[in-house]
Chains A and B, each alone.
Chain A
Amino acid sequence: MERFEAIVVGGGLAGAAAAYRMAKAGVKVLLVERGSYGGAKNMTGGRIYTHSLEALIPNFRETAPLERKVTKERISILEGGKATTVEYEAEPAKPEDESYVVLRSVFDKWLVDQAAAAGAVVVNRIQVDALLKEGEKIIGIRCGKDTMLADVVVLADGVNSLLAERAGLRAPITASEVAVGAKEVYTFNKGVLEERLGLEANDGLAWLCMGDITHGLMGGGFVYTNKNSLSLGVVVGLEHIGEADATIEDMMNEFMSYGPIARLLKGGKLVERSGHMVPEAGYKAVTTLSGDGFIIVGDAAGFCINMGYTVRGMDFAIASGMYAADAIIKAKKLQDFSAGALRYYDILVADSFIGKDLKTYRHFPEFLNNPRIFQKYPAMVNGIMGDVFTVNGSGAKPLVPKLLKRATGVGLVNLAMDALKGGRAL
């Protein structure tokens, strides 16, 4: 039986990044993916901040299948058929400030191909059924009747990591730690998106929406521009979803019915409907990162943060894959794959932007888990806008009482408390 130094389970961004970096350093690595290709089972809303990809593959812009560089950001507050939108447009100042819209079935496949070109052995269409254990040590994987041994197994099998859970390496994920996303991709004739959104040829838009579309649940809608298609969807927290008076499909339809979204979608042709879980709890959800003979990376480790206007995980995934590789490369030199040696990965993560950003945003999920944020405040903002912009001859009222009237709709004490909590959470 062929023996590998490292086995990576999962051909997503974290797994492919780990395999790529290990292969480059001469580690004998096997990447196992259950889909027909890397990314066949993966999806994203849309945007990757590419600073960590740049650290892994500095010239990625030359070959990576990037859809569009984000140069336009929009945030909309949707409520009662009304929309208040803020738009920000800027060319990223430095290369590492850039972010791109990607489609994972294309993008992940590219990254897995890079790993294969660097020397990793890639096998698709193989499901890993279990981790092999010797005492507490992970010594390999089982796929059907086949077993494969390795010095270290990298678990990159995503947010719904059955392997880690069933091997007892981490606590089962709970509804309060995750959100669910539904997404659709619509194609358009060439030039339509540029015209409708006021974009240059390769520039893109990231558009996040919050408001009554999620029926009080934490979450929102998103739109991202691909080359000639739009990625659009809704993400909602799972904790209270059973109590909601709407399904996620109802929310999706309500989102798509909002004027600005409906007009943008006109004439688009649906080419895919997907869904995925998002590990949103951030810092709190991160448990075990490594142990005797294993390292957990990416979504499987819980590396994701809800920043309110966006949920971010892909840059963490790539960086965690890199740190896993670095820890394994070091372990190989020392010929020590014990828990103590692999703990170097935990240290790399904690000292990096992953650990720091997760910590910075650690109280944010609690702050967002508040129906007022998604119902009362959107009504307040759109109400104020309506007051400001409506002139109908019924007599103008001074602005301050108008604002105060809208704020009382939320409750002044609630408003003050939430502002305070929001301030503290950040």
Chain B
Amino acid sequence: MMNLEEKLGVNKYYVNEGHPHIEIIHDYPDMKEKMKLVNACPAGLYTLNEDGTLAFDYAGCVECGTCRVLCGNTIVTKWEYPDDTKGVEFRQG
């Protein structure tokens, strides 16, 4: 079975290198809050590091907004849609 990173590899993205459209507090203390993101992100972009901090990579984002709704007042400090022409481009949808 393909892992999620390999799965995202089939998608078409125009990544805005160096300009993350989402920013987070990686060492946010509340584990419950972090688990929301780990469990819910449909692109699996939030993972826990060994030291319990949150790892996040915006490049595979499908722009659903789930992390904003779940943690927009806690871990997620910035959530914008990627700039014009950037981000994911669905060909199936």
Contact = CB atoms under 8 A, between A and B. Distances in A.
Interface of A: 34-36, 39-44, 103-108, 125-127, 144, 159-160, 162, 172-175, 178, 180-182, 184-185, 229, 231, 236, 238, 241-244, 246-249, 253, 256, 270-277
Interface in B30-44: 32-33, 35-36, 38-44
19 contacts: A35-B89, A41-B63, A41-B90, A105-B93, A127-B84, A160-B63, A162-B81, A238-B40, A238-B69, A238-B70, A241-B40, A242-B32, A248-B41, A248-B44, A249-B42, A256-B1, A273-B4, A275-B66, A276-B42
Contacts of B33: 242
Interface string B41-76: 111100000000000000000111110111010000
Given A160-B68, A162-B81, A238-B66, A105 B92 contact: yes
Contacts of A241: 36, 39-40, 70
Nearest to B91: A105
Most chain A CB inside 10 Å of its own CB: which residue of B38, B39, B40, B70: B39
A159 B35 contact: no
B88 interface: yes
A248 B68 contact: no
Nearest to B1: A253
Contacts of B79: 162
A91 B36 CA distance: 43
B36 to A, nearest CB: 4
Contacts of B89: 35-36, 40-41
Enumerate the 4 nearest inter-chain pairs by beta-carbon distance, A residue then B residue, closest first.
A275-B42, A160-B65, A104-B93, A105-B93
Given A125-B85, A238-B70, A276 B62 contact: yes
Given A181-B42, A242-B33, A275-B43, A34 B93 contact: no
B27 interface: no
B22 to A, nearest CB: 12
B90 A105 contact: yes
Nearest to B43: A275
A382 B79 CA distance: 43
Contacts of A242: 32-33, 35-36, 39-40, 70
Given A40-B89, A175-B69, A273-B8, 17 more contacts: A34-B84, A40-B90, A43-B90, A44-B93, A106-B93, A162-B81, A172-B72, A178-B66, A241-B40, A241-B70, A246-B39, A270-B7, A271-B91, A272-B93, A275-B42, A275-B66, A277-B65
B83 A127 contact: yes
A174 B68 CA distance: 10
A2 B92 CA distance: 34
A272 B92 contact: yes
Contact of A277 (B43, B64, B90, B91): B64
Given A160-B64, A241-B39, A242-B33, A271 B92 contact: yes
Given A248-B40, A272-B10, A36 B90 contact: no
Contact of B90 (A42, A173, A244, A256): A42
A41 B35 contact: no
B23 to A, nearest CB: 15
A180 B64 contact: yes
Contacts of B66: 178, 180, 238, 275, 277
Contacts of A105: 90-93
Contacts of A277: 64-66, 69
B44 A247 contact: yes
B77 interface: no
Nearest to B90: A105
A178 B42 contact: no
Contact of A273 (B11, B35, B81, B85): B11
Nearest to B42: A275
B86 to A, nearest CB: 9
Given A241-B39, A272-B11, A277-B69, A39 B90 contact: yes
A244 B90 CA distance: 29
A276 B40 contact: no
A298 to B, nearest CB: 15
A105 B41 CA distance: 21
* Residue of B8, B65, B79 with most partner-chain A CB within 10 A: B65
A125 B84 contact: yes
